[in-house]
Amino acid sequence: MSFGICEQSLIPVRKDANHRSEMVTQLLFGETYKVLETNDNWVNIRISNDNYEGWIDSKQHSTLSDQEFKHLSTHPYFVSTYLVQVINSITKNTIFPVLLGSNIYEKQNTPYFLNQQEYSFGGELTPSNTTTNKSTIIENALMYHHTPYLWGGKSPFGIDCSGFVQMTYYLSGIKLLRDASQQATQGETINMISEATAADLCFFDNEEGEITHVGIMLPDHKIIHASGCVRIDSIDHQGIYNTESQSYTHNLRLIKRLI
Protein backbone atom coordinates (compact mmCIF):
# COMPACT_ATOMS: atom_id res chain seq x y z
CA MET A 1 0.00 0.00 0.00
CA SER A 2 1.20 3.51 -0.82
CA PHE A 3 0.42 6.84 0.85
CA GLY A 4 -0.15 10.49 0.09
CA ILE A 5 -0.53 13.93 1.60
CA CYS A 6 -2.49 17.06 0.72
CA GLU A 7 0.00 19.75 -0.30
CA GLN A 8 -2.65 22.17 -1.55
CA SER A 9 -5.05 24.46 0.27
CA LEU A 10 -7.99 22.19 -0.43
CA ILE A 11 -8.62 19.08 -2.53
CA PRO A 12 -12.11 17.80 -3.40
CA VAL A 13 -12.73 14.11 -2.74
CA ARG A 14 -15.37 12.61 -5.03
CA LYS A 15 -17.64 9.59 -4.76
CA ASP A 16 -16.54 8.20 -8.11
CA ALA A 17 -13.56 8.72 -10.42
CA ASN A 18 -15.20 11.52 -12.38
CA HIS A 19 -15.13 15.32 -12.15
CA ARG A 20 -18.92 15.29 -12.44
CA SER A 21 -19.29 12.94 -9.50
CA GLU A 22 -20.52 14.43 -6.22
CA MET A 23 -17.97 15.74 -3.76
CA VAL A 24 -18.25 13.66 -0.59
CA THR A 25 -15.56 15.40 1.49
CA GLN A 26 -12.40 17.47 1.20
CA LEU A 27 -8.74 17.24 2.13
CA LEU A 28 -7.14 20.18 3.92
CA PHE A 29 -3.44 21.01 3.79
CA GLY A 30 -1.32 18.49 5.69
CA GLU A 31 -3.90 15.68 5.80
CA THR A 32 -2.52 12.23 4.98
CA TYR A 33 -4.20 9.27 3.34
CA LYS A 34 -3.69 5.72 2.15
CA VAL A 35 -3.89 4.92 -1.56
CA LEU A 36 -6.31 2.07 -2.29
CA GLU A 37 -6.35 2.11 -6.08
CA THR A 38 -5.04 4.18 -8.99
CA ASN A 39 -5.67 4.64 -12.67
CA ASP A 40 -4.36 7.13 -15.23
CA ASN A 41 -6.40 10.06 -13.93
CA TRP A 42 -7.72 9.22 -10.47
CA VAL A 43 -6.56 7.97 -7.07
CA ASN A 44 -8.86 6.14 -4.66
CA ILE A 45 -7.92 7.10 -1.09
CA ARG A 46 -8.75 6.42 2.56
CA ILE A 47 -8.24 9.52 4.73
CA SER A 48 -6.16 8.88 7.84
CA ASN A 49 -8.16 11.03 10.26
CA ASP A 50 -11.57 9.41 9.71
CA ASN A 51 -11.07 6.43 7.33
CA TYR A 52 -13.38 8.10 4.79
CA GLU A 53 -12.90 6.91 1.21
CA GLY A 54 -13.22 8.62 -2.14
CA TRP A 55 -11.41 9.65 -5.32
CA ILE A 56 -9.05 12.57 -5.98
CA ASP A 57 -7.61 13.83 -9.25
CA SER A 58 -4.20 12.21 -9.79
CA LYS A 59 -2.76 15.64 -10.59
CA GLN A 60 -3.55 16.68 -7.01
CA HIS A 61 -2.02 13.57 -5.45
CA SER A 62 1.34 13.91 -3.69
CA THR A 63 3.06 10.63 -2.91
CA LEU A 64 4.34 10.13 0.62
CA SER A 65 6.96 7.52 1.47
CA ASP A 66 6.10 4.71 3.87
CA GLN A 67 8.72 6.01 6.30
CA GLU A 68 7.37 9.57 6.34
CA PHE A 69 3.75 8.40 6.56
CA LYS A 70 4.61 6.38 9.66
CA HIS A 71 6.54 9.34 11.08
CA LEU A 72 3.65 11.77 10.54
CA SER A 73 1.17 9.26 11.95
CA THR A 74 2.95 9.36 15.33
CA HIS A 75 4.47 12.85 15.24
CA PRO A 76 2.65 15.53 17.30
CA TYR A 77 1.14 18.14 15.01
CA PHE A 78 -0.78 21.39 15.25
CA VAL A 79 -4.06 22.57 13.78
CA SER A 80 -4.44 26.02 12.22
CA THR A 81 -6.98 28.17 14.07
CA TYR A 82 -6.99 31.05 11.56
CA LEU A 83 -9.89 31.22 9.12
CA VAL A 84 -7.30 31.81 6.39
CA GLN A 85 -3.54 32.26 6.67
CA VAL A 86 -0.67 31.90 4.23
CA ILE A 87 2.05 29.32 4.57
CA ASN A 88 5.53 29.94 3.22
CA SER A 89 6.96 27.26 0.97
CA ILE A 90 10.64 27.96 1.53
CA THR A 91 11.73 25.33 -0.99
CA LYS A 92 9.64 26.79 -3.81
CA ASN A 93 9.99 30.42 -2.65
CA THR A 94 6.25 30.99 -2.72
CA ILE A 95 3.28 31.40 -0.40
CA PHE A 96 -0.25 30.03 -0.59
CA PRO A 97 -3.32 30.02 1.68
CA VAL A 98 -4.18 27.35 4.20
CA LEU A 99 -7.58 27.17 5.85
CA LEU A 100 -9.00 26.70 9.31
CA GLY A 101 -8.35 23.13 10.50
CA SER A 102 -5.28 22.45 8.34
CA ASN A 103 -2.46 20.30 9.76
CA ILE A 104 0.88 21.98 10.51
CA TYR A 105 3.76 19.81 11.69
CA GLU A 106 5.83 22.33 13.63
CA LYS A 107 5.35 25.26 16.01
CA GLN A 108 4.54 28.76 14.82
CA ASN A 109 7.29 30.37 12.70
CA THR A 110 9.46 27.25 12.96
CA PRO A 111 10.67 25.90 9.58
CA TYR A 112 9.97 22.21 9.00
CA PHE A 113 10.18 19.65 6.22
CA LEU A 114 7.12 17.91 4.84
CA ASN A 115 7.51 15.47 1.96
CA GLN A 116 10.94 16.92 1.10
CA GLN A 117 9.55 20.46 0.99
CA GLU A 118 10.45 23.08 3.62
CA TYR A 119 7.64 25.18 5.07
CA SER A 120 7.10 27.88 7.68
CA PHE A 121 3.73 28.93 9.11
CA GLY A 122 3.12 32.12 11.08
CA GLY A 123 -0.55 31.72 11.96
CA GLU A 124 -2.12 30.72 15.25
CA LEU A 125 -2.01 27.01 16.09
CA THR A 126 -3.41 24.63 18.65
CA PRO A 127 -1.85 21.23 19.49
CA SER A 128 -3.79 18.30 18.04
CA ASN A 129 -3.69 16.58 21.44
CA THR A 130 -5.01 19.61 23.32
CA THR A 131 -7.38 19.09 26.23
CA THR A 132 -10.71 20.78 25.64
CA ASN A 133 -13.93 21.81 27.33
CA LYS A 134 -17.44 22.67 26.25
CA SER A 135 -16.71 26.41 26.05
CA THR A 136 -13.85 25.82 23.61
CA ILE A 137 -16.07 23.67 21.40
CA ILE A 138 -18.70 26.41 21.27
CA GLU A 139 -16.06 29.05 20.48
CA ASN A 140 -14.77 26.90 17.62
CA ALA A 141 -18.28 26.29 16.31
CA LEU A 142 -18.99 30.02 16.19
CA MET A 143 -15.95 30.54 13.95
CA TYR A 144 -17.95 28.87 11.17
CA HIS A 145 -21.07 31.01 11.75
CA HIS A 146 -22.60 32.13 8.40
CA THR A 147 -20.38 29.75 6.38
CA PRO A 148 -22.39 28.77 3.27
CA TYR A 149 -23.64 25.20 3.03
CA LEU A 150 -21.69 22.99 0.64
CA TRP A 151 -22.26 19.26 0.27
CA GLY A 152 -19.00 17.53 1.18
CA GLY A 153 -17.41 20.79 2.37
CA LYS A 154 -15.04 21.09 5.34
CA SER A 155 -13.82 24.69 5.09
CA PRO A 156 -15.00 28.15 6.23
CA PHE A 157 -15.83 28.85 2.55
CA GLY A 158 -18.33 25.97 2.33
CA ILE A 159 -19.29 23.21 4.71
CA ASP A 160 -22.00 20.59 5.26
CA CYS A 161 -23.67 19.67 8.54
CA SER A 162 -21.45 16.75 9.49
CA GLY A 163 -18.32 18.45 8.16
CA PHE A 164 -19.12 21.41 10.40
CA VAL A 165 -19.46 19.17 13.45
CA GLN A 166 -16.36 17.15 12.56
CA MET A 167 -14.18 20.24 12.05
CA THR A 168 -15.47 21.98 15.20
CA TYR A 169 -14.50 18.97 17.30
CA TYR A 170 -11.24 18.49 15.37
CA LEU A 171 -10.19 22.03 16.29
CA SER A 172 -10.93 21.01 19.87
CA GLY A 173 -8.69 17.94 19.75
CA ILE A 174 -11.45 15.34 19.25
CA LYS A 175 -11.68 13.22 16.10
CA LEU A 176 -15.14 12.31 14.82
CA LEU A 177 -16.24 10.23 11.87
CA ARG A 178 -17.32 12.05 8.71
CA ASP A 179 -21.05 11.48 8.12
CA ALA A 180 -23.89 12.29 10.52
CA SER A 181 -25.03 8.65 10.59
CA GLN A 182 -21.49 7.60 11.54
CA GLN A 183 -21.11 10.31 14.18
CA ALA A 184 -24.37 9.09 15.76
CA THR A 185 -22.55 5.88 16.75
CA GLN A 186 -20.06 7.81 18.90
CA GLY A 187 -20.40 9.15 22.42
CA GLU A 188 -22.90 8.66 25.24
CA THR A 189 -26.64 8.78 24.55
CA ILE A 190 -28.62 11.50 26.33
CA ASN A 191 -32.25 10.49 26.77
CA MET A 192 -34.04 13.85 26.95
CA ILE A 193 -33.51 17.30 25.45
CA SER A 194 -33.92 18.75 28.95
CA GLU A 195 -30.75 16.85 29.96
CA ALA A 196 -28.71 18.12 27.01
CA THR A 197 -25.99 20.69 27.60
CA ALA A 198 -23.87 22.95 25.40
CA ALA A 199 -21.57 21.06 22.97
CA ASP A 200 -23.77 17.93 22.89
CA LEU A 201 -24.59 16.65 19.40
CA CYS A 202 -28.19 16.48 18.20
CA PHE A 203 -29.10 14.16 15.33
CA PHE A 204 -32.15 14.39 13.10
CA ASP A 205 -33.83 11.87 10.81
CA ASN A 206 -35.96 11.84 7.67
CA GLU A 207 -39.32 10.17 7.07
CA GLU A 208 -37.59 6.82 6.56
CA GLY A 209 -35.90 7.08 9.96
CA GLU A 210 -32.44 7.64 8.50
CA ILE A 211 -30.17 10.10 10.29
CA THR A 212 -29.49 12.87 7.80
CA HIS A 213 -28.57 15.94 9.87
CA VAL A 214 -26.52 16.92 12.91
CA GLY A 215 -25.91 20.08 14.93
CA ILE A 216 -24.26 21.29 18.13
CA MET A 217 -26.23 22.34 21.18
CA LEU A 218 -25.80 25.89 22.48
CA PRO A 219 -27.02 27.34 25.77
CA ASP A 220 -30.59 28.63 26.14
CA HIS A 221 -32.28 25.98 23.97
CA LYS A 222 -30.36 26.97 20.84
CA ILE A 223 -28.51 24.90 18.25
CA ILE A 224 -25.85 25.78 15.68
CA HIS A 225 -25.96 23.74 12.48
CA ALA A 226 -25.31 23.94 8.73
CA SER A 227 -28.56 24.35 6.80
CA GLY A 228 -28.30 26.81 3.93
CA CYS A 229 -25.47 28.26 5.98
CA VAL A 230 -24.11 27.69 9.46
CA ARG A 231 -26.90 29.25 11.52
CA ILE A 232 -28.35 29.37 15.01
CA ASP A 233 -31.91 28.23 15.62
CA SER A 234 -34.14 27.18 18.50
CA ILE A 235 -34.50 23.52 19.46
CA ASP A 236 -36.95 21.56 21.61
CA HIS A 237 -38.06 17.94 22.05
CA GLN A 238 -39.61 17.97 18.57
CA GLY A 239 -36.66 19.36 16.68
CA ILE A 240 -35.23 22.53 15.14
CA TYR A 241 -37.58 25.50 14.91
CA ASN A 242 -36.79 28.17 12.32
CA THR A 243 -38.19 31.49 13.49
CA GLU A 244 -37.90 32.98 10.00
CA SER A 245 -40.15 30.38 8.40
CA GLN A 246 -42.03 29.79 11.67
CA SER A 247 -41.81 26.05 11.16
CA TYR A 248 -39.93 22.96 12.29
CA THR A 249 -37.23 22.07 9.77
CA HIS A 250 -35.63 18.95 11.33
CA ASN A 251 -37.05 16.17 13.51
CA LEU A 252 -34.97 15.32 16.57
CA ARG A 253 -33.94 11.67 16.72
CA LEU A 254 -30.94 11.33 19.05
CA ILE A 255 -28.64 13.28 21.38
CA LYS A 256 -25.02 12.28 22.02
CA ARG A 257 -22.38 13.58 24.43
CA LEU A 258 -18.68 13.43 23.58
CA ILE A 259 -17.35 15.56 26.42
Q: How far is CA 147 from CA 73, 177, 241, in A?
A: 30, 21, 20
Q: Could you please report the per-residue DSSP string of 52-104?
A: -EEEEEGGG--EE-HHHHHHHHHS--EEE-SSEEEEEETTTTEEEEEETT-EE
How confident is the model over 3-28, as a mean pLDDT? 97
Q: Could you please report the per-residue DSSP string of 197-225?
A: -TT-EEEEE-TTS-EEEEEEEETTTEEEE
pLDDT in tens, 103-146: 999 999 999 999 999 999 999 999 998 888 999 999 999 999 99
- Residue 225 bears catalytic tag: yes
> 176 and 186 in contact (C-beta within 8 Å)?
yes
- Residue 161 bears catalytic tag: yes
Residue 153 has pLDDT above 90, yes or no: yes
Residue among 61, 161, 202, 250 flagged as catalytic: 161
Residue among 6, 61, 202, 225 flagged as catalytic: 225
Task: State the pTM of this model.
Answer: 0.96
How confident is the model over 57-62, as a mean pLDDT? 97
Residue among 6, 61, 202, 213 flagged as catalytic: 213
pLDDT in tens, 156-208: 999 999 999 999 999 999 999 999 999 999 999 999 999 999 999 999 999 99
How confident is the model over 95-106, as a mean pLDDT? 97
Average pLDDT, the chain: 96
pLDDT of residue 131: 85
pLDDT of residue 150: 98
